[in-house]
Structure 1
Amino acid sequence: MADQPRAPIDPEHWRARLAVLSERHGVPGAQLGLLRIGADAAADEAVEVAHGVLNAATGHAVDTGSVFQIGSVTKVWTATVVMGLVDEGLLTPDTPVAELLPELRLPDPARRVTVRHLLNHTSGIDGDVFTDTGRGDDALERYVALLADTEPVHPVGAAFSYCNAGYVVLGRIVERLTGLVWDRAVRERLFAPLGMTRACTLPEEALLHGAAVGHVEGLPEPETAPVWGIPRSMGPAGTVLANAGDVLRFAAAHLRRGLGAEGDRVLSEASARAMGDHEVTLPDPHTLGDSWGLGWIRFGWDGRLVLGHDGNTVGQSAFLRLLPDAGFAVVLLTNGGRTRDLYQELYGEVFRELTDVRVPTPLGPDPAPDPGSRPVADEAPVSAVYESTAQRLEILGEGERRTLRVIDRAPLPGVDPDPVEEWPLLPAGGTEGQFVFRPEGRRTWVPVRIHALETGEEYLYLGGRAVPRVRAGNG
């Protein structure tokens, strides 16, 4: 491997850094896990540290056994199970979804969607449908049936758009091919063989451990989330709970190309490699990553490949990064506050000190003025409108004085919709159509990209989602 350990990872140092930086960024509670794999599992070097409280209302302390919601990091776990079924010959990445789920009714031509399209987020299915279909074992089956009422956001395979719904469909495929509900399938095919002692998918399982509560406002005046988690119907897209140690066990299996700690294979080397191979380049490389594989997000840091995934639920955020050529992984689990700022500063230190890799600086405006110097232009006319099931996005004004108006149309069940928000857009990156805005109190900027397909359709990318333009101006 390219990097060799220069010194043991110092748990006290990273415990102190997690504490200082969590307080700086208003994060009530967090876990940090660091891993260097050795020649075999016995030689692995793993460090887990914790800070803060699980719930600001109770003051219960976080320890290394506490479980957090890992959110969309779950998607890589679902992708791993799917690729395991590929190894068994039950499907291929290019199998049409209609062959596996003939009852699925998607608007034509979306019935040409393959498993690959779901894994790499190019299916065109509207991804942010968070319908709660109940707590029963038929939650995924009922959810998938509702997709007949949705319209695609782009033609199949024509664009990238981050898609939660597509991963629920993958979970339903797992159920169909294994005869198990997704929760049990992921337990039997990942949790058990990888020796995970805390990982789970259901609230009643999380109660057996210290479970983190999300906070929609961080320190110094934390506010707990109005609901504990997301619906069971979204399980394959985001309901795994785990501690940092179990996430590191998952990461180690991928760093070893599909081998578990005991040498048991949970994934073939070919499938493990395919999950990280380039599948699609992202139009906006500043929000999620540079490109995507069959489950993993791909990043190019200092000319080296980093794999990872982030996750966000109601007031909880998770960040997982793997540096395969160094056999190194790091995970951060949090329950509120300015988590993106914590990730950026902490991971900058971790990678610099333990791998000599520089974490890229987040995209910022060109030049960087005080955001308060550009008041929102309420009187400016609407120059473009973009719509999906989840959001209506309006651009006010033109040229260098544009404002983004965000209207939340499909909040999570139990969560009140956000008020209409407006943010001044500033040009960034020297790229046409690339902008940023910065919510109050945050250090890092939020990228926005306006991108057109070769066929001319225009999309606004926000949070990795492709939101199609529906009209210009107020007409």
Structure 2
Amino acid sequence: MRDQAAALDAEVTLAARELGVPGAVVGIDHGGELEFACHGVTRIDHGRPVDETTLFQIGSTAKTFTAAAMMVLVDQGRVELGRPVRHYLPDLRLHDEEAAASLTVGQLLNHTAGWDGGDSWTDTGEGDDALERAVALLADLPQQFAPGTDASYNNAAFLLAGRLLELITGEPYERALAQLILEPLGLRDTLTSLNEIMTRPFAIGHQPAETEAGVRACEPWSDPRGYLPAGARLASSLRDQLAWARFQLGDGRAPDGTRVLSEASLRAMHQLTTDHELMPGIGVGIGWMLREYDGVRIIEHHGDVAGQHSAVTIIPEHDTTIVVLTNSSPAGRELSERIVRRTLETRLGLVERPPEPLRLSPTELAPYAGTYRTDGIELRIVVAGDGLIIHGTVSDADGSGETLEFPVSLLAGERFLVVGGPFTGLQGEFVREGGAVVAAKHVGRLVPRAG
């Protein structure tokens, strides 16, 4: 055990130094036995050392909390996943009236709502109406497909789910989440209030920059309050995230025996809810992503926000969880993937075998080249040798954004494989209609071809 701990420390330190990640904490829970590895500082220029109590923003991993809170209301008989959202929010307005009329609560939680994903986050203020105002902006998002007929990663759907929590409980989202999930589970280091977070040791996010260190601290620290149910602002410690992951392996009770969720509802969150995949091999439960790794079932979620990255990986068959929190993006994702792969191999004997890429000529690759756009995302795809390069830009509400390059190889069945950078190993796919390439599904988002 001591040798394994030393090896983990060395792996985290090496990866952080090679990738330029200022701070990273990793936790492994195997059968209830906890192991930590911590490297670096909260901020590149004048931070303090990170440890298992440091607060990191967890980004989209917050969606698993929003989904769990909704499942508490399901257990209480206050909401039904199969009911239309308009049953609870009669004045719901979407760009497509048919979608607004048919959309169900469950479709908010498994990325099948069908409109543009809402990746451009508009500041709707700091008042208790911030979420309500953010939901009002959904009417501007074009509908890509009818609810339930496909899957595409959707931040905005979780805003609407958070708004339902407010309406049904009569409390602001933050208070509803605390009452339904955080307090019963004793997650005292999982916080939504900036005033509370700033009184604790907390990490500052970092993004690439032309500086001596190669990164810059992100300012402002967090994204708007109105986007909290999708992943803005929520901060947590390594200890709390390990406790959250351990809860997923239980029967719905807190460590003190308090019933938080029925076992049936907890297990339902970890089962496929649709035949449609976000990415090749990546299915969707209720708030969680599902896949197989070397034939073993994995439950997981990642989060990227304000220059920070989080990852929770759960392997039920081995009674094991892995949590990685970093204050760097996108390099933090690459560190996380490296540590998780290494841990699965060395601790559990699981090895993922990469698919075989196709060898195509520039002429054969040319139909995939072009520009693809959706709300807050632009992909410019160009031919490079025997593969493609995706220049991906995620834009803020003010139009600013950062562009990253993703070299990809084509696979059989219109799929592609990222072969370099922080998303190495992820697969996507192209969508054809009438023989023409009309969309690309990249990092879970369905991005239509421009024009």
TM-score (norm 2): 0.88
Aligned match of 1:460: 440
Note closer, same or farther for the CA distance 1:234–1:250 as it changes in structure 2 (3 Å cut).
same
The alpha-carbon deviation at position 129 of structure 1 amounts to 3.9
Residue type matched to 2:147 in 1? Answer: V
Structure 1 distance, partners of 2:341, 2:108, is 32
Aligned to 1:45: 33
Shift in Å, 1:168:
0.8
CA distance in 1, matches of 2:197, 2:442: 32
Partner of 1:224: 217
From 429, 432, 449, the counterpart of 2:414: 432
Counterpart for residue 280 of structure 1: 274
Kept in 2: contact 1:121–1:166 (CA 8 A): yes
Seen in structure 2, the aligned counterparts of structure 1 residues 317 and 405 have a Cα distance that, compared at 3 Å, is closer
Q: Which residue of 1 aligns with 2:130?
A: 139
In the aligned structure 2, how far is the partner of 1:263 from the partner of 1:455? 57
Q: Structure 1: how far apart are the matches of 2:121 and 2:428?
A: 23
Residue 260 (1) aligns with residue 244 (2)? no
- Contact 2:16–2:22 under 8 Å retained in 1: yes
More deviation, 10-19/458-467: 10-19
Q: Which amino acid aligns with 1:109?
A: E
Taking a change above 3 Å as real, the CA distance of residues 364 and 214 of structure 1, as seen in their structure-2 partners, is farther
| Match in the other structure for 2:339 | 346
SS in 2 for 1:31: strand
CA distance in 2, matches of 1:196, 1:284: 30
Give 1:417's aligned amino acid.
Answer: G
Distance 1:352 1:403, change over 3 A: closer
TM-score, with structure 1 as normaliser = 0.84
Change (3 A) 1:426 1:180: closer
Letter in 2 for 1:110: A
How does 1:349-388 map onto structure 2 within 5 Å? 349-358=342-351, 360=352, 365-366=357-358, 384-388=370-374
State the 1:361 CA deviation: 5.2
Match of 1:246 in 2: 240
Larger displacement relative to structure 2 (387-396 or 170-179): 387-396
CA RMSD of aligned residues (A): 3.1
Structure 2: runs of 5+ lacking an equivalent: none
Cα distance in 2 for partners of 1:258, 1:220 equals 44
Verify: 1:176 aligned to 2:167, yes or no.
yes
2: distance between equivalents of 1:189 and 1:348?
33
Quote the Cα distance in structure 1 between the aligned partners of 2:433 and 2:51. Answer: 48
Q: Secondary structure at the match of 2:412?
A: coil
The residue type paired with residue 231 of structure 1 is P
Report the CA distance shift for 1:174/1:278 in structure 2 as closer, same or farther (over 3 A): same
Letter in 2 for 1:55: R
- List alignment gaps of at least 5 residues for structure 1: 1-6, 38-43
CA distance in 1, matches of 2:73, 2:332: 35
Cα distance 1:209–1:458, how it changes in 2: closer, same or farther (>3 A)?
Answer: same
Asked whether the 8 Å contact 1:122–1:160 carries over to 2, the reply is yes
Secondary structure of the 1:141 match is helix
Deviations along 1:189-236, whole A, 9 cap, x unmatched?
Answer: 222111222110122221121110011028843311232111111101
CA deviation after TM superposition for structure 1 residue 430, in Å: 3.0
User: Is residue 156 of structure 1 aligned with residue 184 of structure 2?
Assistant: no
2:82 is aligned to 94
- Between the aligned partners of 2:369 and 2:360, the Cα distance in structure 1 is 24
| Contact residue 282 and residue 290 of structure 1 kept, 8 A | no
**CA distance, structure 1, for counterparts of residue 9 and residue 223 of structure 2:** 30
Using a 3 Å threshold, how does the CA distance of structure 1 residues 192 and 427 change in structure 2: closer, same or farther?
Answer: same
Deviations 1:35-60 (A, max 9, x none): 134xxxxxx31223321000002132
CA gap of 1:362–1:332, structure 2 versus 1, over 3 A, is farther
- Identical residues among aligned pairs (%): 31
Instruction: Give me the whole-angstrom Cα distance separating, in 2, the residues matched to 1:426 and 1:328.
Output: 32
**Number of residue pairs the alignment of both structures matches:** 442
State the 1:283 CA deviation.
4.6
Q: Does 1:203 align with 2:197?
A: no
- Shift of the 470–48 alpha-carbon distance from structure 1 to 2, 3 Å rule, reads same
Residue 144 of structure 1: CA displacement? 0.8
> Is 1:24–2:24 an aligned residue pair?
no
Q: Is the 8 A contact 1:362 1:444 kept in 2?
A: no
- Output the CA distance in 2 between the equivalents of 1:296 and 1:443: 19
Counterpart-to-counterpart distance in 2, 1:90 and 1:462: 36
1:4 alignment counterpart: none
